[in-house]
Every structure is written in C-alpha cells, then in structure tokens.
Amino acid sequence: MLIQTLLKEIPFFWDFSEGECTALTTAESFFITYQDGEYLITEGDADENLFVILKGEANVVGSSEPDQVIATLQPGAVVGEVSFLTKRKRTTNIIASGEVIVFRIDSYSMNRERLDLALQTKIKNQLIEILVQRLEATNKALGIQKKSNFALSKALREQVLAARSNVSKDSVY
C-alpha cells in the first residue's frame, strides 16, 4: 500500500492507470530500499538498471572527488536511463543519503515479471519524454551561455581596444 501511494506522488507514474501501477507493485523485485551510504549506481559498472527515486534522497558523486556532491536527487528523480536504454557503462556514482526507496527495473526484469508490452512501452515513452525535456533544457542553457560568452567577449575586446588606444596616445607625447 505504501508503494502504491508513493507511485501516485511521482510525476513519472502520473500517466499510468491504477491497473498499471498495481501490475508494477505486485512485482516486489522492482522496489528496493537502500540505506545511508549504499550505492545505487557505481561509476564504470555495466548494469542496465533504471531508477526512479520514490522516497528519500541520493547524492550524485564523481569518482575523482568522492567527497564532492555534484547534486542531490529528490523523490521523482529518474537516473540510469542512459544505461537502461543504451547498455553503456555508468558515468557517475549515486549514493543513498539516508534511507531511499526506489523503483528499479531493467529489460530482463520487465520480461521476467511478464509486464505486458503496453506497460513496457509506457515506461520507455516516459523515458523518452524525460530525455527530450533534458535536451530542451540543455539547449536553452547553452543558448543563454552563448549569449553571455558573446557579451563578455565583446566587453573584453572593447577594453583591449581602449587600453591600446590609451597606450598609443601616451607614446605620442
């Protein structure tokens, strides 16, 4: 019952019907609890698990600076989608910060639990939507950065030209 309630609170599952959520919750292997300090994802691993954080928080940490938290993930965060879809190795660490309950799935477990094709497709469509939203946000941020870089370059160029102009005037006298 707790899991069913948690699913209703997470945007990833909002388009899922009551029956689809029930189908997911009957497969207990999809729901995992991690304790403080446990790794959900380890950089370099080749697993294909997709995670949706249902309760608690997890930290994104790179291997090069293990004490440096890059981001803190809240309930609703979806991680591991690239490895889930492309079978690529993990590029960062995700570590539980306190108790964390996640929905965890991979292609093998979807088949093992006999999720129907419509539900598998819905999961993948949700991932596609998330990836498109992230791409749009990245493109917007890059556009803003490009404008900022252009403005900074222009201001720097003007300062250099002004400094050269002042040097030229000083050397004439």
The answer to whether residue 163 sits within a structural domain is no
How much is the pLDDT for 173? 54
The answer to whether residue 144 sits within a structural domain is no
The answer to whether residue 165 sits within a structural domain is no
**CATH code assigned at 92:** 2.60.120.10
Q: Quote the domain boundaries for residue 118.
A: 2-138
CA dihedral 43, 38, 85, 78 (to 10 degrees): -120
Q: Are 59 and 39 in contact (CB under 8 A)?
A: no
Paired tokens of 44? 């370099």
The answer to whether residue 153 sits within a structural domain is no
The answer to whether residue 169 sits within a structural domain is no
In the chain, the number of structural domains is 1
The answer to whether residue 106 sits within a structural domain is yes
pLDDT in tens, 87-143: 899 999 999 999 999 999 987 887 777 788 888 889 989 999 999 998 999 999 999
- In the predicted model, is pLDDT for residue 164 greater than 90? no
Polymer length in residues for the chain: 173
Strand partners, 57: 97
pLDDT in tens, 3-38: 888 899 999 999 999 999 988 888 778 999 999 999
The answer to whether residue 152 sits within a structural domain is no
How much is the pLDDT for 118? 87
Binning pLDDT at 50, 70 and 90, where does residue 151 land?
confident
